[in-house]
Structure 1
Amino acid sequence: MFMDVHDRFRTESHSEAAGRFNERFLLSLASCKACVVMDDELNILPISSHIRSITPVPVKEDSEGLSEAEKDLKNLKEQLIDDFPVGPLIRKCCTLDQGKAVVTFLDAVLDKTLRSTVALLAARGRGKSAALGLAIAGAIAAGYSNIFVTAPSPENLKTLFEFVCKGFDALEYKEHLDFDVVKSNNPEFKKATVRINIYKQHRQTIQYIQPHEHEKLSQVELLVVDEAAAIPLPVVKALLGPYLVFLSSTVNGYEGTGRSLSLKLLQQLEEQSRESAKTVEGSLSGRLFKKIELSESIRYASGDPIESWLHALLCLDVTSSIPHISRIPPPSECDLYYVNRDTLFSYHKESELFLQRMMALYVASHYKNSPNDLQLMADAPAHHLFVLLGPVDESKNQLPDILCVIQVCLEGQISRKSAIRSLSDGYQPSGDQIPWKFCEQFQDTVFPGLSGARIVRIATHPGVMRSGYGSQAVELLARYFEGQLTPISEVDVENVTETPHVRVTEAAEKASLLEENLKPRTNLPPLLVHVRERKPEKLHFIGVSFGLTLDLFRFWRKHRFAPFYIGQIPSTVTGEHTCMVIKPLNNDDIEDSGSDQWGFFGPFYQDFRRRFTRLLHLSFREMEYKLAMSILDPKINFMELEPTLSTSNGFLRSFKELLSPHDMKRLEAYTNNLAGFHLIFDLVPILAHLYFEGKLPVTLSYAQASVLLCIGLQGHSFSYLEGQMKLEREQIMSLFIKVMKKFYKYLYGISSKEIESTLPRLKEIVMEPHSISVDEDLKNAAKQVEDEMKSKMEGSLNPELLQQYAIVDRDADFENALQIGGKVLSGGLVSVKSSRNKIEKHGNQKESHKSGKKRSKDDHGSKSNKKKKS
């Protein structure tokens, strides 16, 4: 049986939707004892053969036709008939539980200490919203002026505002005279009631606010939070304050997103109330907490089998299906299994129990679950389910403990023609969220043609959260799609295919309605298949889309997922920005430079970071600095090396265009404490952009980089940082000036390097070590000196040189020298005139005579030569 809703499940690459949800629905009708299936002639079909043994149910009623519960409610109304405003309002209650809830609410209202928190917990169809509406009407009658109501959407408050008006009727308030109802003009709210103005006593207002608008609660006296379980827990905590608070939560059903509200928040409120009640001071100043639970149904009779059948069919009451884990294995011992959806939705007893446990993990993990989500999981052709299980003991015939569930949607494989048409028309078809968003953000028509998987949901057992099972499941899933878990021989891999479904028209031709007996199919494939035994799809990436929070982003970042899109408009329900991240997988089909860990996604990731830094002072100005730092993930540690001209050459050109010499002088004055911060206020955004784009390789601490981000990119003041970083103003200013000093040091360094490169360089003298030892060097030097002295001595004793001191043997000269009695003088010197001049003259005459003869011969030779030439 195929439905119109299946058109939303089809994508370009996955067009065949299955009918597992309807098959399970029809099979469940056979198990519902209060259901009768007939044909158009009112013939009971074999599926409802149990109706033949129907018997009337005895009802315990008194003489007035009232049951025991109705009788107790009547007595309660009679007891409070004279109390105002409780008496008129309680007459609108349908059950005793609802009446007691209204009385409890009004007791807190009339107390007027504004220090109570009242929580109302119940299943679907118990009258929670009606009780809140009547309590709000009673608060108006008690004189409360400012009442704020919040819920995931104004549409959830339709019943609440309806019973506010019914309470006004019981209190004899007239519409248009005593109060006005204001409808919303927002087309998304579909003309839902958003305000009621009351004028009877004085100006009073009942105003709807969105859950994330907690800053509007400054003048509130009463805050009512309807369907609090559908609001994330941090948002609910932010709503609480020093005023009267009414909380309403659905403990099961698709309005509730999980048990985290009742298990965490209400437990904390109870503990705080219990601690404050221990002391006298605490009992006067602490908050009081009351919890109300409704068990009696208004929509169904007590024990109605239709309610239990509907809860089982749509997995509404699955919180009791979470079993205690018998053994907590280490994450490294756990394995990933593929869940066959044909077997899961076959309505067999064991598979039905496994389905209820899977949905229980979704509910416990704060996912909002509706019947549409269950049908999507069953029928969408691109969706697949995986579970993380501990070591399985096959000898025990029991279902294993589910530690983690992952729901995956295959996306991509979109034709280039479709991508170009989508960009030109500005229209994105349903499905394929990540490829279409990637195509829109980067105007890229190639990426949609790649194949990928989007993790739709990941839920961990509440008893073992933060134990590493979610991380192990994600790692195994990535390795599975990369082919690392598949055996080398693909012949041994069993490619499990889901059984094709038979259309209703084809089945109707084979059997008659009066003869057909519906029963679960047989010969189904195994429910669980180890991923090593299944051939994986060939994918290029894995992606995730989620509401941006610090914990979630850090989880995906830890597994090497990188963001490429963050929505600029936050969600009206949670106040969170939509974030999409992807992780490229190792695939031989894509060529990339391999320069970084992101592969082909690297250029797109850098482009996203640049765009995000530019938007930080606009759309993301109020984003927490820790989250912004995690998203940018700047490199804050650089090697302590002096900047070289080769590495900073490209930066110098852009640096000169951004910062003038006067800017550098201002920056120098600030770093030397000669000027105030306002003198360089215009330079901080420029330096911050350069740093977070990786163009300023300066090592900063995490705190210093955070201060730079808040001031330079988000444009916050030091006063704002005091509240955000929980530091004193002097500490923040100290961190900031250290950043500026490091920037100035780096910029001054590369500027100095550039100037040095233009100056002439001296030839560098290379100092090399001696090849001989010191002793040998000394010996060689001594020998060299001795040789030089020896050569000098030999030259000075040459006979030819000594001839200049020759004395001719003339006695007269000696006698003249020794004319003083023939004795030597006391100085020991005797002076005798040398005959050197005569000898030199005689020698010169001989040489000149020889040279003259030589010249005459040369002249004679030259003359004879001339004669010959002539």
Structure 2
Amino acid sequence: MRKQLDNRIPILINNNVKRNHRSFIVLVGDRGRDQIVNLHFLLSQARVSARPSVLWCYKKDLGFTSHRKKREAKIKRDVKRGVREANEQDPFEIFVTVTDIRYTQVLYYKESHKVLGNTYGMCVLQDFEAITPNLLARTIETVEGGGLVVLLLKTMASLKQLYTMTMDVHARYRTSSHDSVVARFNERFILSLASCDDCLVLDDELNVLPISRGKDIEPIDEAEEKGKGKQIEQELIELKESLADTKPIGELIKLAKTTDQAKALLTFVEAIAEKTLSSTVALTAARGRGKSAALGMAIAAALAHGYSNIFVTSPSPENLKTLFDFIFKGMDALGYEEHLDYDIVQSTNPDFNKAIVRVNVFREHRQTIQYIQPQDAHVLGQAELVIIDEAAAIPLPLVRNLLGPYLVFMASTINGYEGTGRSLSLKLIQQLRESTRASITKNDDSLATPASNSKKNLMSGGSGIKARTLREIKLETPIRYGTGDKVEKWLHSVLCLDATVVSRGISGAGCPHPSQCELFYVNRDTLFSYNPASEVFLQRMMALFVASHYKNSPNDLQLMSDAPAHHLFVLLPPLRDDESTLPDPLVVLQVALEGNISKQAILESLSHGLRSGGDLIPWIISQQFQDNNFAELSGARIVRIATHPDYASMGYGSRALKALESFYNGELFNLDETPEETQEGDYRPTIDPNATLLTDKIAVRAATQMPPLLQRLSQRKPEMLDYVGVSYGLSPQLLRFWKRAGYCPLYLRQTTSDLTGENTCVMIKNLGEVQEGEEHWIGAFAQEIGLTELNFLLTPFDLKRLEAYANSLVDYHVVLDLLPTLATLYFGKRLGPDMKLNAIQSSIMLSLGLQRKTIEEVEAELDIPVNQALALFVKAIRKICTRLQNLHKEALGADIPTQPAQPPTKSDGTDWKPLAQTVQEELQEAGNEATRELRAKQREMIDALDMSKYAIDHTSADWAQAEAHVAKLADPNRKKQVSTVVSLKSSASASTKKRAAEEPADAPKKKNRRSKGSKQK
């Protein structure tokens, strides 16, 4: 049944062919594959060039056979069965037969990397559940201007069903304790289609759906578009005319499509003409800017300048299709003819799809253009020119190995699929800049003092990356498609490919103190909701990640949005009361919750040598130490931490780490505040059961239906964790940062990473305080050296030798054999945290003990005399020897039994009490007590006696007589007759005294009238 085609579809395709832009069409429905034929026909009609080639990406099952003989056999079988007429023509079969289609299996990126550097007129993306951000960036960027990108979706009642679709990559995000995945990336992807001006969403009958942004498209004036193009090309025409008479650049520059490309070619030819063989030209650009074409023309120029051995490398020889095409175009422009002047050798490897791997040139003398694998740097001994295409897709250590004493041209993508890596611009090109600067400085110094530092220059030579000159080129004008391509703008926005850090400057308001900044939790449901405010904040966060980390990929965006165990935090400056917009984040943290794995899963994995996805640190530590208890602990791994470049090295990163640790320790949670009830993943889209594709309304959720983007940590209940860890590529700066933060290294990979060329290091910091008397569990994995191990490494005679050298009794040659062991113990932090050497002593210990250098080499490197170096070395050995002696004492003291702190207990449960006094002291105390009691009894007996009968009747006459007697005795003339006895006589009669003694004690006493009377006188 025929129906009239919606006029907006051909208008969209024709407009973009005129603009040299790409069109994006989404086909919803199981029969969408049949409409590919019609769309390809419309594209062919709109273009005047050859029939567009097709890149068809699928997961496992293509749905039809791509083999011609198999299709013919199937037709014959159908005719025999009577289900098909002999002369019946299926439009789709005709399309598959006559169209140049490249089929690429996208499952696990099996072949998708091979499409880099190639150009197609149409791209078909099948099996939406297998599509990843990496694949979108790889494939869409291969479509040329005026081309068509088609995304096939299965039949569904509403596009909102994609919000909850399980993607194939989600299986990698699930862990044993986090298995609920929310497809936030799908929702944001579908909503973003409505913002692409050159996108139409159709059903399988080519009806335009309401979500389409391009549904109001109008035809454009072709003459107006051509006028814009002429203005842009005027500068290029003038440049070509000025170089028309210059050989060979004049013929080659005619092939340039943009002014940027022409200037890049001039720079390449300038480096070729110098023939210094020690320079590097780095070409960086976004996708589709003509990098490979510029390299191809530069190789043709190198042939004209007589270069004999030219090597080309890339991730795959199939990536070099465009490069070799322009090599041959350049050779044709220079008058080379195939078979007469050069031969082409194609690969017989079926995996390379007959790609060109060698060109033999024999016009004037033997010249060769040879493809090599990136890991074959050892064959470059006779190389004169090495070309590295798509350098950002090659691991950094391999690119570094490809540099050597020859001319190097490299091209790298700075955004797009590889460019988000930034490994080339952040690491390698930065090292080249520094080496160029150093070589210039060295040359200036050598001109002034030619004989100085000759030994240092000799020792520092031999590296391919040193003493090289660097030229940098950047291409901005697109060639593969026209300027202002709407699909490119949409792709870069939805994948955050061109997120750049906006430098705010710190001179005006100044920098806030790190202690004033606050860490916030970012709600991912709101962040990836495609709300305009959330989009701005997401772009700022991704810009920090891209600027701070040299290896990122678009897949990281989907990991951030969908992985259930991942969480995001941002450190923000203090907010002002009059501020209505969110400030730029100073630090962004991505954290993954790990651990809490069941005992059974741990034992099964360790016994079979396998491990499940996720939970990086628990599985690494469990396998390294063969421990089945560590994985049961709960922890958080800091996946990435990025600081704003304008605020780097100011303490903001450390502040964010401390705030994160305080949050997981429960120090920030405020019980007085009501925690937010909304949790991530609570939102579920509401799908109208009566809705259809033509009536369904797809729009961004209202702000009232979304939780707040930022949440204070005091309002969020923290997860119960045992540790915080990190896994990173080891470098001196990063190790210093994490050690300063209090993290303890537990694992160091013995081989370097294929991706970064660095050794992976795992460090952990314990959360919570260790109770007194409780052993620290990290000590089981990282502990100081013990006496048993020390005796195994160093014998008592070795320690005596060290002691003798520390006391300056023997020469340093006597202890040279012990230095590797001592240096390993010291730099491995096995001698305890208190054992520290200064910088020069550590350098000497490192050079002599681990690098096995002589003391003369140490003198040259540290620029200090030998005697001073040895004096510092003796002090270092003395410190280490003292530490080892203390270790022996501590170990011996630990073997001596000590009195238990608590006394033993009686059988009845009561405690024994030790004696407070000795036996002699107890006897003395008992004797004193008996004496006191006896004296007390004597005093009672004395007090009971009546002493009145001994009373003296002291009259004045008696006292006067006694005083006269004392005065007489005090006469100095009678010293020898002095007597100490003074007597007083009482005048009372003896009878009176006797009668008083016989009276009862209680009888009233009679008054002594005489004495009374004598007192009255």
- Please state which band the TM-score falls in when normalised by the shorter chain: 0.5 to 0.7
**CA distance in structure 2 between the partners assigned to 1:732 and 1:192 by the alignment:** 63
User: How far, CA to CA, are the matches of 1:447 and 1:750 in structure 2?
Assistant: 29
- 1:486 matched to 2:669? The reply is yes
In the alignment, is the contact (CA less than 8 A) between 2:361 and 2:368 conserved in 1?
Answer: yes
CA contact (8 A) 2:318 2:355 kept: no
Kindly state the Cα deviation for residue 659 of structure 1 after the two structures are TM-superposed.
Answer: 2.8
Match of 1:694 among 803, 806, 831: 831
Q: Which residue of 1 aligns with 2:598?
A: 415
Mapped pair 1:600 → 2:737:
no
1:106 aligns with 2:269: yes
Partner SS state of residue 726, structure 2: strand
Q: In 1, distance between residues paired with 2:435 and 2:304?
A: 28
RMSD (CA atoms): 5.0
Residue in 1 that maps onto 2:731 = 549
Deviates more, 1:46-55 or 1:464-473: 46-55
Q: Does 1:36 align with 2:200?
A: yes
**Structure 2 residue identity aligned to 1:426:** G
How many Å separate the matches in 1 of 2:356 and 2:178? 42
SS state of the match for residue 200, structure 2? coil
Residue pairs, 1:93-492, within 5 angstroms: 93-114=256-277, 118-144=281-307, 158=320, 162=324, 166=328, 170=332, 172=336, 200=362, 201-202=365-366, 221-222=384-385, 244-246=407-409, 248-256=411-419, 257-258=421-422, 260=426, 291-319=472-500, 323-324=504-505, 327=509, 328-489=511-672, 492=674
Matched with 2:687 is 507
Change (3 A) 1:508 1:75: farther
Q: Give the distance between the partners of 1:515 and 1:718, measured in 2 at CA.
A: 83
Task: Return the offset for 1:98.
Answer: 2.1
**3-state DSSP class of the match of 2:293?**
helix
Partner of 2:30: none
For the 8 Å contact 1:233–1:260, the answer to whether it is kept is: no
- Amino acid of the structure 2 residue aligned with 1:520: V
Contact 1:495 1:535 in 2 (8 A): no
The CA deviation string for residues 524-553 of structure 1, in whole angstroms up to 9 with x for no partner, is: 011111111111111111111111100011
How far is 1:163 from its partner?
Answer: 5.3
Given that 1:148 and 1:209 are in contact with CA atoms closer than 8 Å, whether structure 2 keeps it comes out as no
Question: Structure 2 matches for 1:38-53, cutoff 5 A?
Answer: 38-48=202-212, 50-53=214-217
Following superposition, the deviation at residue 575 of structure 1 comes to: 2.1
Aligned-partner SS, 2:747: strand
Partner AA of 1:693 in structure 2: R
Paired position in structure 2 for 1:540: 722
- 1:592 to 1:311, Cα distance in 2 relative to 1, 3 A: farther
Given the alignment of the two structures, is residue 18 of structure 1 paired with residue 182 of structure 2, yes or no?
A: yes
Q: Using the alignment, how far apart are the partners of 2:485 and 2:614 within structure 1?
A: 39
Identify the residue that residue 633 of structure 1 maps to in structure 2.
none
Would the alpha carbon gap of residues 426 and 88 (structure 1) be closer, same or farther in structure 2, given more than 3 Å must change?
farther
- On the 8 A contact 1:496/1:534 being kept in 2, the answer is no
Look up the SS of the partner of 2:781 in the other structure: helix
* Local SS of the residue matching 1:492: coil
Asked if 2 retains the 8 angstrom alpha-carbon contact of 1:670 and 1:680, the reply is no
Q: Which amino acid counterpart does residue 495 of structure 2 have in structure 1?
A: L
Local SS of the residue matching 1:556: helix
Distance 1:478 1:509 in 2: 47
SS in 1 for 2:201: coil
Q: How far apart are the structure 2 equivalents of 1:105 and 1:255?
A: 23
Deviation at residue 314 of structure 1 after TM alignment:
1.1
TM-fit CA distance, 1:266: 9.1
Task: Check whether the contact 2:396–2:756 (CA below 8 A) recurs between aligned residues.
Answer: no
| 1:17 counterpart SS class | coil
Identity %: 43
Q: Given residue 572 of structure 1, which amino acid in structure 2 is its aligned partner?
A: D
CA shift digits 1:594-641 (9 cap, x unpaired): 56xxx31112012xx87xxxxxxxxxxxxxxxxxxxxxxxxxxxxxxx
- What are the within-5 Å matches in structure 2 for residues 549-568 of structure 1? 549-568=731-750
Could you tell me which residue of structure 1 aligns to residue 841 of structure 2? 704
> Using a 3 Å threshold, how does the CA distance of structure 1 residues 62 and 473 change in structure 2: closer, same or farther?
closer
**Structure 1 position 474, deviation (Å):** 0.8
Structure 1 residue 582: Cα displacement: 1.1
Q: Distance in 1 between matches of 2:853 and 2:439?
A: 38
Does the residue aligned with 1:414 lie in a helix, a strand or coil?
coil
**TM (normalized to structure 1)?**
0.68
Q: Secondary structure at the match of 2:687?
A: helix
Does the 8 A contact of 1:138 with 1:167 survive in 2?
A: no
Out of 218, 228, 233, the position equivalent to 1:54 is: 218
> Are residue 6 (structure 1) and residue 194 (structure 2) matched?
no
Q: Select 1:497's aligned residue among 666, 670, 679.
A: 679
Secondary structure, aligned partner of 1:319: coil
Structure 1 counterpart of 2:617, which letter? I
Equivalent-residue separation in structure 2 for 1:293 and 1:20 (angstroms):
35
Q: Is the 8 A contact 1:19 1:501 kept in 2?
A: no
Q: For residues 606-685 of structure 1, what are the structure 2 equivalents within 5 Å? A: 606=783, 651=787, 655=791, 658-659=794-795, 661=797, 664=800, 668=804, 677=813, 680-685=815-820
Between the aligned partners of 1:746 and 1:222, the Cα distance in structure 2 is 56
Whether contact under 8 Å (2:374, 2:398) holds in the other structure is no
Distance change >3 Å, CA 430–CA 79, structure 1 → 2: same
Q: Give 5+ residue unaligned stretches, structure 1.
A: 611-649, 756-870
The answer (yes or no) to whether the contact 2:519–2:656 under 8 Å persists in 1 is yes
Name the structure 2 match of 1:518: 698
Cα separation, 1, equivalents of 2:337 and 2:708:
64
Label 1:50 to 1:744 Cα distance change in 2 as closer, same or farther (>3 A): closer
